Structure 1
Amino acid sequence: MIHVITSRNRHLYEGELTQHFRVRYDIYVRDRQWLALDRPVPLEIDQFDTLDAIYLLSIDKGKLLGGSRLIPSMQPHLLSEVFPYLAPRGVPRRADVFEWTRIFVAKDQRGANGAAGTAKAAGGRALGEVLCGIFEFALDEGISAISAVGEMWWTPRFLEMGWKVEPLGLPTQIEGEWCNAFLFKVDDEVLANTRKCFGIEGSVLTRRGLRQPVVHHLDT
């Protein structure tokens, strides 16, 4: 199941969150060599891991299989603070737009095809559950779109999964990798397409503790 962790219930997940930051360190610092994120303690925590961050973690019998992070676009986030030049027409910033970052799948849950394979082959069911969890959560919470910065090799995977994607600019090389900013529409069709791609039926989300809306719409 995909556990939803917010500022209201993170005290119930202290061990899982620490494990998640440790796995992120292994993936992004040790494996991918994002050395700007290196710290004396082997936990990958950046400036956007605030109380506004929402974590969607795949946990099975205490084992972390994968996860991702959502940040409200009205708050400082990766696209607005680090890569605004990837969206020359303007960074989407609305209450119902969140940014998606730091997706990962534990090494023993991945397929063998890496970036060259399909989404299903490369990430397996663990990836599918995390992605379905993102859209299921977004639909539950009134989020209409999700922004992201990603490598261009993700593009055929987005199409394979039936996502509705809008590039926010032209591809740009970042540390030797062609990247772009994207905006993804959130609707029932996209969730259904993602479930079909990975062979997932029904809800993958579970929630513990207090719950509050993450999108606050102003009355008009």
Structure 2
Amino acid sequence: MIIVIDAINKHLFSDLLDEMFLLRGRVFGERLGWEVTIENGREIDQFDAMDPLYLLGLDEDGEVISCVRTLQTTGPHMLSDVFSSILDGEPPIRSSRIWESTRFCVDTARLTRDGSASAIARATSELMIATLETSRDAGITDIITVIDPVMNRVLKRSDNAPYDYVGSVTPMGKVSALAALLDCTDERIERVRAFAGISGRVLATEEEVLALRAAARMRNGQGNHDRKASLPEPAAVLAAAHAPASLQLSAG
């Protein structure tokens, strides 16, 4: 289940955004060792103040397990203002039809608690599909994304290989970084869907996510017991969000 959060609906999902910043802190600050600012465990930078568009992946309890941030390239963005060394002196790409995708990460620690690597592959593929579909539907033709070599291999394995690269591979913390280009075409989306075995929709509505979160709070004793009967069961919410998507994914 993927929820799209932007300037219009972020007031409804401030708790999810907080979970996202904590996840980014764990991944980019602790695991990857990137030179990012961490405060109270949260990784937040100047671009988060620009009302970007976020896509957040949620598990069956409505908790954040993956995330990505997108920004227009016509204004300030990471490749032009932070990772410009990748460009080797070349000017950054700027177009109203190209979005920058950054801070793509998956909570691998949480998803492997049951010992299943397929959960990571599915969460990654769902987030890729949702990002491409959301971009395509907004009239975006291409995504430029700053990734590390591991993510580059993940993209290739999931039949989502970049069609081109910009600049060069540059050291960044414990890993290296590079800028890749992905077209937001139906063909690319179908390739990723076929790889992951996902045939249904991956994007959830605001109502579905709010109901899922409310149901989770009820189970944890944080909600009003009197409202419980009026809320859909989490399984029903997930079924509606993913139907008729297959629940099986082979880790390629």
TM over 0.5: yes
Query: SS of the counterpart of 1:201?
Result: coil
Q: What is the aligned counterpart of 1:123 among 116, 120, 125?
A: 120
Provide the residue aligned with 1:79 in structure 2: 79
Alpha-carbon distance in structure 1 between the residues aligned to 2:156 and 2:174: 24
CA contact (8 A) 1:111 1:124 kept: no
Cα–Cα, structure 1 residues 190 and 46, in superposed 2: closer, same or farther, change >3 Å? same
Runs of 5+ consecutive residues of structure 1 not aligned to the other structure: 113-119, 210-220
Query: SS of the counterpart of 1:169?
Result: strand
- Deviation of 1:147 after TM superposition, in Å, equals 0.7
Q: How many residues align?
A: 202
Cα–Cα, structure 1 residues 159 and 30, in superposed 2: closer, same or farther, change >3 Å? closer
Provide the residue aligned with 2:38 in structure 1: 38
- TM-score computed with the length of structure 1 as normaliser: 0.82
Provide the residue aligned with 2:156 in structure 1: 159
- Deviation of 1:82 after TM superposition, in Å, equals 1.1
Most deviating of 160-169 and 49-58: 160-169
Q: Please, what is the CA RMSD of the aligned residues? A: 2.4
CA contact (8 A) 1:165 1:184 kept: yes
Alpha-carbon distance in structure 1 between the residues aligned to 2:33 and 2:132: 29
Deviating runs (4+, > 6 A) in structure 1? none
CA contact (8 A) 1:111 1:121 kept: no
Alpha-carbon distance in structure 2 between the residues aligned to 1:42 and 1:35: 14
Alpha-carbon distance in structure 1 between the residues aligned to 2:118 and 2:97: 32
Runs of 5+ consecutive residues of structure 2 not aligned to the other structure: 208-252
Query: SS of the counterpart of 1:159?
Result: helix
| Paired-residue identity, % | 28
- TM-score computed with the length of structure 2 as normaliser: 0.72
Provide the residue aligned with 1:194 in structure 2: 192
Q: Which amino acid aligns with 1:177?
A: V
Question: What does the per-residue CA deviation read over 1:33-83, in whole Å, with 9 as the maximum and x for residues that have no partner?
Answer: 3354122x2211111102431110112332212111111111211101012
Q: Which amino acid aligns with 1:46?
A: D
Provide the residue aligned with 2:55 in structure 1: 56
Alpha-carbon distance in structure 2 between the residues aligned to 1:36 and 1:70: 18
Structure ranking higher in helix proportion: 2
Alpha-carbon distance in structure 2 between the residues aligned to 1:14 and 1:57: 12
- Deviation of 1:27 after TM superposition, in Å, equals 1.9
Alpha-carbon distance in structure 2 between the residues aligned to 1:134 and 1:24: 17
